[in-house]
Amino acid sequence: MKLKKTLLLLFFVMFTIHGFAQSSAELKRRRDKITSELEKLNDEYTRISSDKKTSLKQLSLLKAQIDLREEKIKTANSEIRLLDHQISDNSNNVRSLQSQLDQLKKEYAAMVLFAFRNQSAYNKLMFVFAASDFNQAYKRLKYMQQFGDYRRRQAGYIEGTQKDLHIKIIELDHNKKEKNNILIDQEKEKEKLGKEKDNQAEVVNTLSKQEKLTKNQIAKQKKARDQLNRAISNAIRREIEEERRKAAEEARIAAAKAKAENKPAAVAKPASKGTDVLSATPEAAKLSNDFLGNRGRLPWPVANGVIVGRFGMTYIQGIKTENPGVDIKTNAGAAVRSVFSGEVSKVENVDGSYLVVIRHGEYFTAYINLRSASVTKGQKVSLKQTIGVAGVDPESGDTQVHFELWKGFTPQNPQSWIAEN
């Protein structure tokens, strides 16, 4: 029973250490990814800032930088907490191994002293021959052999413990250095965050002074987004109406068939007034469930890109902007692809660029600012199938795709659905 408890304890310790290693590696990978995204955003902001004309785009980029910078600092804090645990564990291990080593050395010293006092062959023979009978003499001879073997094993234990102690001391030193490096990097990030917030306040101040221009920019953005929202909502509304029409037609056919066969007609269910009708059929329900099941794992709508405009409302010192999706900067001529299998609900040219809406059961994805579209309404598409080519954002001059994700008439945050790029 005692052995079983010991094995369980060892397994728990090993599992905990492995979990720490995995978490630490994951956090480091996340921090490195954020650093890479921040570098891209900084390059984009530097390029846009070279234009003397202050714009809401600068404010949007600064907000994205600040959000990422704060996320990086939080990630660093998590890494530091993990390292503190590892430092504490390794310190305890070092103390435990040092204590074991001291005890082993004491025992070994006592054995060496005993062996020294009984080192002559005469004394050993006298110890054997002084036995009262043959059996006792044999046992004494075996004892002397086992004593010698034990001494050798004890020397091996000491050597092994010294090696383990050396490894743990190196690990402890590495943990402390790594923690120190993260703390230094964290201080640098806090300094950069302060500068970015100062820049943000400066941009807001400039935009406030250019009130007329700022209001025009906001009005222009709002008009474009309202137009897109109407187009997407209309596409969803048509899908709902079509599903209701199909359900009504199926009920009519079923009633006619029952009447012809002189059977009682099934009671028709009232048509849903909400978006539930989008998942009324088994096929649509399965597609919705599959789409939901892949939350956090959906591929990006472009193979390579960085988010330069985040989802949600931003309200900074009197300037309010709202983004119902995410803006992704990508390579010139990049292919835009479907993030999941589904059916194309809408393809429309909106102010010189294409909008593509794809239905996935009760979920919809919208791909905006496409230079060209390679799909048509009603077409079935598969996962990662190319649906068009990314266009150029007229404000920044970069190749960008605006991506939205809706559940019925409710826009969702795409970043909680797509995988880490």
**pLDDT truncated to tens, each residue of the chain (421 aa)?**
444 444 444 444 444 444 444 477 777 777 777 777 777 777 766 766 665 555 667 777 777 788 888 888 888 888 888 878 878 877 787 777 777 767 767 766 666 666 555 554 445 555 554 666 667 666 655 655 565 565 566 666 677 777 777 777 887 788 788 888 888 888 888 888 888 888 877 777 776 666 666 666 666 767 777 778 888 888 888 888 888 887 777 767 766 766 676 766 554 455 455 667 787 788 888 999 999 999 999 999 999 988 888 888 766 555 566 788 999 989 999 999 999 999 999 999 988 899 999 999 999 999 999 999 999 999 999 999 999 999 998 777 789 999 999 998 899 999 999 997 6
Q: What is the pLDDT of residue 296?
A: 92
Backbone phi and psi for residue 305, each to the nearest 5 degrees, phi listed first: 180, 170
In the chain, how long is the greatest CA-to-CA distance? 118
Beta bridge partners of 363: 360, 407
Q: How many CA atoms lie within 13 A of 225 on its CB side?
A: 19
Neighbours of 207 (CB within 10 A): 23
Backbone phi and psi for residue 316, each to the nearest 5 degrees, phi listed first: -125, 115
By three-state DSSP, how is residue 270 classified?
coil
Give the containing element (helix H, strand E) for 22: helix 2-49
Q: Which residue has the tokens 């600068």?
A: 58
Q: What is the pLDDT of residue 402?
A: 94
Beta bridge partners of 353: 350
Neighbours of 396 (CB within 10 A): 21
Closest alpha carbon to 95 in 21, 173, 165: 165
Compute the C-alpha angle 43/47/48, nearest 5°.
Answer: 120
Sequence-distant (6+) residues with CB within 8 A of 160 are none
**228 touches 350 (CB < 8 A):** yes
Distance of CA 107 to the CA centre of its chain: 52
**Virtual torsion, Cα 204, 208, 212, 218, nearest 10 deg:** 40
pTM: 0.59
The C-alpha atoms of residue 172 and residue 180 are separated, in whole angstroms, by 12
Domain 215-416 = CATH 2.70.70.10: yes
Query: Where are the domain boundaries for CATH 2.70.70.10 in the chain?
Result: 215-416
Q: What is the pLDDT of residue 16?
A: 45
Q: Which segments of 118-133 does DSSP mark as H helices, in order?
A: 121-129
Classify each residue of 51-88 as buried b or exposed e, where b means 16 or more C-beta atoms within 10 Å of its C-beta.
eeebbbbbbbbbbbbbebbeebbebbeebbebbebbbe
